[in-house]
Structure 1
Amino acid sequence: MGKVNIWLKRSFIIATSLMTIIGAIMLAGTLFSHGHFSRDEQIEHMIVGINVMYTVSITILVLPIIGLYGACKEKRWVLIVFTVGMILCSLFVLYMAVNLLIMRSVIVNLVSGLYLHMQPISNASEVDLVVLQETQTELECCGVQQGYVEWGYNISESCLCNDTLANCVAAPRNSSLFRENTQVMIYKEPCLPVFISHLNVAINMVVGISMGLTSLWILACALSIAILCQLRPKKDTMVVAYSREAKTGNYAVLAEPAELT
């Protein structure tokens, strides 16, 4: 079996160690998210995504550990398992990232339809009003598409903002939030454009992180394949040495030429 280059092995150990750290962080984030959303009544709708995150993070954590063991012990079959697993993970993540980019417009249209369904706000259901108010508080916006005017007279208190913010305007005089002796400020921007902007940023971040992880995995696979090539069994070849004693004429004649005829 061949000898592995020390710098090649060190590079592989650094790459797989970084992958192990990333896998541990992803697993910790998944556990935190599961605990955070476990109090939510709609946890049933999120459980599929959480289980997928558990599977991905555990896979990303376990495979580099296997690769580290194979590189340190120089075991070919362990490195083969690591390489095949990383290639499959890379193909899966690339497939999901490409599909996310393709489905971007569909996701945006679906979200837009959900929020546009709340209009007019005066006829929205209690569930839609709760969702809209939470969105207004989180994204610092008011209304769905046209701003606070969609609320009419009864502007929601979730539209209230600090007067130091640049995206605030004074509450109209003909609204329930107006105070004669106090300046009441409300959010100026509608929620749907802000939400779509945040959604596009989130999709770009997910795709960017996926591409970065895939690049690291491909690098680790290339290093693993290089180590496997160096670990291939080498055939022993006979060494031919030149000797000064090997001169012409140092041979014995077995028979006289006359005797051969």
Structure 2
Amino acid sequence: MGKVNVCLKRSYIIVICLIAILGALMLAFTLLSHGLLHEEDEIESTLPVIHGMYVLSIITPILTIIGLYGACKEKKWALMMFAVVMILGSLFWITCDILLLALRPMVAEVQKSDYLQLLPLNNPSEVATDRMKAAQIEFQCCGLDQGYLDWGYNIPESCLCTKEPTNPCVAAPRNSSLSEHLVDDQHIMIYKESCLPYMTAHMMMIIDSAMGIILGVTLLWVLSVVLCILILCRLNKKEDIPVVVYSPEAKAGNHSPLTDAVENA
């Protein structure tokens, strides 16, 4: 069994330690997300995703322990198990990235369709109203599709422009519910643009970020597999042992030349 290069072994250990840290962070994020979504109405639809994240975040540290044991003790079975499972995991991450890329346009259309069902906004549910008000404050917009017209007469205060708005503003209709805020017959300024484009762009940014994270995790997993295979190749390589040749002269001892030299002296 050949010797493993020290730099190769240390590089492998560093990579799998990073993978273990990512697994721990994934577990913490999963626990936090599960706790925040526990009282939400959509918890049933997100449970399969949460359970999958639990499985991945628990399996990952176990694999890294097996890989670390195999590298430190130079156990081939542990390294082979680590390599096989990590290859399957890498294929899983690549599949997830491809699916997200393929579903990206569909997600935008589905989100747009779901939000447009809330129209008109003057009579939505309380949950939808709170969500829209939060989006209007965050993105500095008003309404969903037609701007403040989507609210009809009851334009919420979340549509009011801030002192230094980043998005354009227009004067609110004088017959709206905001007319009670009129001071000295001045115009009430509200955001001009609708929120749906901003909300869609925000969702696309989340998907793109998820794809980037998955790609980074995949590259890290592939790197660990490459290093693991290199270690296995070094362990399988046979060392060149010099051949020992038996010589009768060496056993008997042939010192006559040295003796003659001493006598001649």
TM-score normalised by L of structure 2: 0.82
- Report if the CA contact (8 A) 1:3-1:230 is conserved: yes
Supply the distance in 2 between the matched residues of 1:185 and 1:20 (Cα, whole angstroms): 52
* Residue equivalent to 2:262: none
- Report if the CA contact (8 A) 1:163-1:185 is conserved: no
- Report if the CA contact (8 A) 2:172-2:190 is conserved: no
Q: Deviations over 1:152-209 (max 9, x none)?
A: 2210233235322322625514221132217754333311100111111111111111
- Report if the CA contact (8 A) 2:172-2:189 is conserved: no
Consecutive unaligned residues of structure 1, counting only runs of 5 or more, are 246-261
Q: Deviations over 1:100-147 (max 9, x none)?
A: 111111111111111122223345455544443343344443211121
- CA distance 1:157–1:217, change in 2 (3 Å): same
Q: What secondary structure is seen at the aligned counterpart in 2 of 1:103?
A: helix
Supply the distance in 1 between the matched residues of 2:65 and 2:166 (Cα, whole angstroms): 50
TM-score normalised by L of structure 1: 0.84
Supply the distance in 2 between the matched residues of 1:90 and 1:160 (Cα, whole angstroms): 49
* Residue equivalent to 2:18: 18
Supply the distance in 1 between the matched residues of 2:48 and 2:14 (Cα, whole angstroms): 33
Q: What secondary structure is seen at the aligned counterpart in 1 of 2:115?
A: helix
Supply the distance in 1 between the matched residues of 2:115 and 2:146 (Cα, whole angstroms): 12
* Residue equivalent to 2:6: 6
- Residue-pair matches, total: 246
* Residue equivalent to 1:187: 191
Q: What secondary structure is seen at the aligned counterpart in 1 of 2:44?
A: helix
- CA distance 1:73–1:237, change in 2 (3 Å): closer
Q: What secondary structure is seen at the aligned counterpart in 1 of 2:119?
A: coil
Alignment map for 1:1-261 (pairs within 5 Å): 1-122=1-122, 124=124, 128-167=128-167, 169=169, 171-174=171-174, 175-178=176-179, 179-181=181-183, 184-232=188-236, 234=238, 239=243
Consecutive unaligned residues of structure 2, counting only runs of 5 or more, are 250-265
Q: Deviations over 1:43-96 (max 9, x none)?
A: 222211111111122222221222111101110000111111111111001101
- CA distance 1:184–1:50, change in 2 (3 Å): farther
Comparing 71-80 with 60-69, greater Cα deviation is found at: 60-69
Q: What secondary structure is seen at the aligned counterpart in 2 of 1:197?
A: helix
Supply the distance in 2 between the matched residues of 1:10 and 1:235 (Cα, whole angstroms): 22
| Greater share of residues in helix | 2
Shift of 1:8: 0.6
What letter is aligned with 2:221? W
Q: Percent identity?
A: 47
What letter is aligned with 2:197? P
- Report if the CA contact (8 A) 1:168-1:185 is conserved: no
Q: What secondary structure is seen at the aligned counterpart in 2 of 1:186?
A: strand
- Report if the CA contact (8 A) 2:9-2:231 is conserved: yes
